[in-house]
């Protein structure tokens, strides 16, 4: 048996397992809060926009298949945007990877030499409050502890 089918299966399996990290990395490429300069963000943003625009015609062509997929999901969990715009989403994230060579250059020339910015206690508390305030509307979730404004006073 030739080696390439096994190699292709291995690469596909590893690629599917790494989808979350790729999506997170592409989000960081276009967002200035993660320390990237315009040198990296501009090509990543242009690539992401181009990829999303190229995916819209594919979304239209794939509409019959995505409609069947959408209707086959449970009403509680189906999301029309993630189903009908899936090709655009994939091409958007793939297009943002255009900024990865620029990110490598920027990291080698600039970011790796900079000290990490420490997070202040106020920033940490703000982040924790924002996570505590998030509502989970799609699934029944019981909070482990009540929000500060929800505590009853005796």
What's the pLDDT tens digit per position in 37-53?
999 999 999 999 999 99
Residue 147 lies in a domain: no
Residue 96 lies in a domain: yes
Most confident of 56-60, 74-78, 138-142: 56-60
Residue 122 lies in a domain: no
Distance CA 67, CA 83 (A): 8
Distance CA 33, CA 31 (A): 6
Residue 69 lies in a domain: yes
DSSP letter for 81, please: H
Cα dihedral 88→92→93→99 (10° resolution) = 160
For the segment 136-145, the average pLDDT, to the nearest whole number, is 60
Residue 82 lies in a domain: yes
**CA-only gyration radius of the chain, Å:** 21
> Looking at the predicted structure, is the pLDDT value of residue 134 above 80?
no
Higher-confidence residue of 19 and 52: namely 52
Q: To the nearest whole number, what is the mean pLDDT of the chain?
A: 83
For the segment 98-122, the average pLDDT, to the nearest whole number, is 89
Residue 151 lies in a domain: no
For the segment 95-114, the average pLDDT, to the nearest whole number, is 92
Residue 116 lies in a domain: no
pLDDT at res. 97: 93
Give the total number of structural domains in the chain: 1
Ranges of H-type helices in 1-153? 4-17, 19-30, 38-61, 63-72, 80-84, 86-96, 100-109, 121-133
**Which pTM does this prediction carry?**
0.65
For the segment 20-27, the average pLDDT, to the nearest whole number, is 85
Higher-confidence residue of 42 and 79: namely 42
Residue 67 lies in a domain: yes
pLDDT at res. 148: 60
Whether the Cβ atoms of residue 81 and residue 66 lie closer than 8 Å to each other: no
Range of the domain at 78: 43-100
> Looking at the predicted structure, is the pLDDT value of residue 67 above 70?
yes
Most confident of 17-26, 70-79, 143-152: 70-79
Confidence grade of residue 154 (pLDDT, cut at 50, 70, 90): low
Greatest Cα pair distance, the chain, in angstroms, is 75
């Amino acid at each position: 048996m030739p080696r390439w089918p096994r190699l292709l299966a291995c690469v596909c399996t590893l690629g599917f397992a790494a989808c979350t990290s790729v999506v997170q990395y592409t989000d960081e490429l276009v967002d200035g809060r993660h320390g990237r300069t315009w040198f990296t963000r501009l090509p990543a943003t242009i690539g992401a926009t181009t990829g999303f625009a190229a995916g819209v015609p594919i979304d239209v062509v794939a509409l019959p298949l995505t409609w069947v997929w959408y209707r086959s999901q449970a009403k509680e969990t189906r999301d029309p945007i993630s189903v009908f715009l899936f090709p655009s989403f994939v091409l958007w994230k793939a297009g943002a990877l255009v900024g990865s060579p620029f990110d490598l250059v920027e990291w080698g020339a600039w970011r790796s030499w900079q000290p990490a910015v420490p997070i202040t206690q106020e920033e940490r508390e703000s982040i924790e409050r924002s996570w505590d305030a998030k509502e989970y509307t799609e699934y029944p979730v019981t909070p482990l502890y009540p929000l500060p404004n929800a505590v009853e006073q005796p």
